[in-house]
Structure 1
Amino acid sequence: MLRTLSPTEQHGVALGFIMKEQREAAARATVSTPSTPRVESLKPHVNSYVGREGEPLLRWLVEVDIAITARLIVDPLSKFLDLQQSKHDVHAYAQSARYLVSNIVTNPIDEATQVVTFMKGLKDGPVKAYLFREYPSTLESAITLAMQEEFSLRQAKLHVNVPQPMQRPMVKPSGGPEPMGLSSATTAGSQQRRGPSNVRCFRCGNNGHYAHECTAPVQAVKGRRDDTGYHHGQ
């Protein structure tokens, strides 16, 4: 049918077909939820039809139809290869990576590509540097290491940000004796209670304590006095 038409009429038919496809695509986009706009991940290129000899118009129309249909498809592989962590935490980023990998059914990608893509999409920082040092062999091991490293960094920040109790400065008095520490006071008190070692008890005759601190029995004290020749009045 198209062969019997003039070139101008052929161009008119092609233009009408393109306009119809565009209207149908716009209608499908309007029916979809406006809060989740369609992501055009595939952008196929179709050459313009110029009507040269040996260039069938029908084949060009089929290419246009395929291109329009393809633009409505969200390709999980393209989305996974372009995946970025952005402002998400590692857990949310890992869940997105798992979801996209599970949707790649036709031509599954190998583990090495999954690991490299996951590490490449991480934010620049300690987690990304740690994973490139370890270089895990599977996507799940990479996710586990990334989540563990992020948890360790958060714990370290919590310990650093704990407020320390403020120590009250010791004010040195302008005059008078300096305050004595508790340990010094205890030591001095015990020494004062014990008394100097060169003090002699006139009750029992032993050194190291005074008579009012003496605990020796009376008979022992009397015998010691007799032995030492100690007598009152001397």
Structure 2
Amino acid sequence: MGIHAVSVMLEALNRDAQHATIAKFIQNERDAEREKFERLRQQKAAAGGSMHSRRPETLKIDISKYRGVEEDSLLRWFVELDDAIRARRIDDGDMQVAFDQSNLAGRAKTWALGLKLHDPYALGSLEVFKSRLRQTFEPPRAEFRALTELLKLKKGKRDVHAYAQHLRHLMSCISSNPVDEHTLVSVFMQGLADGPVKTHPFRL
């Protein structure tokens, strides 16, 4: 959806309706990827049902490697990891941990191998793996930095969809104290480029 389309849509609404519309738009952006993943999963399952009736079909989703560096979002990687585990139907705990380790790189991979050398059962389950990874690599102020970036976020030269996607990514990095809907709508509106879409909702 382009900036002009959003402008036309919002111009026809009063202030309360505008805020409700923007809130719905942001929620739709959150749901879009989930729906896309679910459609792909269902399509794959339907195709697999006719071709491989003896075993459930899996969807091999590639995920990014977690390197243990500051610019990597551990929470975002956990979301990718959980989606991939479900799509691949990895139910065994040991296999889940092995899959997790296979998607580590750099200092994070070195850290995991060091633990296993000293204690083969140090990462005995998915929950333990996540907990120890979080304790070791999650910056203590990671959520604060994500919140600070979110509150200062500007649309810039991006289209509305890309702007909303970046907003959604920052939201995913804030889990302990999520941003409320009213603040989110205000941030979204303030971050839009100067023009009818930004100025109209605050016109007296």
The TM-score normalised by the length of structure 2 is: 0.29
Larger radius of gyration: 1
Query: Is the helix fraction higher in 1 or 2?
Result: 2
Which structure carries more relative contact order (alpha carbon 8 Å, separation 6+)?
2
The TM-score normalised by the length of structure 1 is: 0.26
